[in-house]
Amino acid sequence: MDDTKFKTGRKKTGGRKKGTPNKTTTGVKEAILRAFDQVGGEDYLVRIAEDEPRIFCSLIGRILPAEARIETRPMIDYAKMLNAAIARGEKAHAERRAALESGST
């Protein structure tokens, strides 16, 4: 009776071998691939990417391995940078004008 209880180091007996795929999961994956082929394959993905980019990006996030994911950086606010540069230029121009006016008075 004691031989049937789990013991540390006891070898695995019975059941599926490690790495053997589940038959149900395999069947579902095959059905999904057949449906994918029927709706157009790559062309279908292109249509989804164009028409529903959020859905397409969600799909990419689920399919790509974590190592392949690209880290994104916040978008650069070029309008803010341009406005700041213009403001600096205007300030410098006003300072030059003031220096010229004070020198000529």
* 55 and 44 part of one domain: yes
Report DSSP state, residue 6. Answer: -
Q: What is the pTM of this model?
A: 0.41
> Around 19, how many Cα atoms within 13 Å sit in the side-chain half-sphere?
0
Is 35 among the domain residues? yes
Residue 66 has pLDDT above 70, yes or no: no
- Residue 73 is predicted with a pLDDT of 67
Considering the domain boundaries, does residue 53 fall inside one? yes
What single letter denotes the amino acid at residue 32?
I
Structure tokens at 70: 């690209």
Average pLDDT over residues 37-51: 91
Residue 8 lies in a domain: no
Looking at residues 81-96, what average pLDDT do you find? 84
> Within the chain, where are the H helices?
23-39, 42-51, 53-63, 78-104
Q: Is residue 80 part of a domain?
A: yes
Instruction: Count the domains in the chain.
Output: 2
Same domain, 29 and 58: yes
**In whole angstroms, how far apart are CA 55 and each of 13, 30, 33, 47?**
44, 22, 18, 11
Give the domain extent around 41. 24-70
Same domain membership, residue 87 and residue 57: no
In a domain, 18, yes or no: no
pLDDT at position 80 is 81
Q: Is residue 1 part of a domain?
A: no
Confidence of residue 59 (pLDDT cuts 50, 70, 90): confident
Same domain, 39 and 50: yes
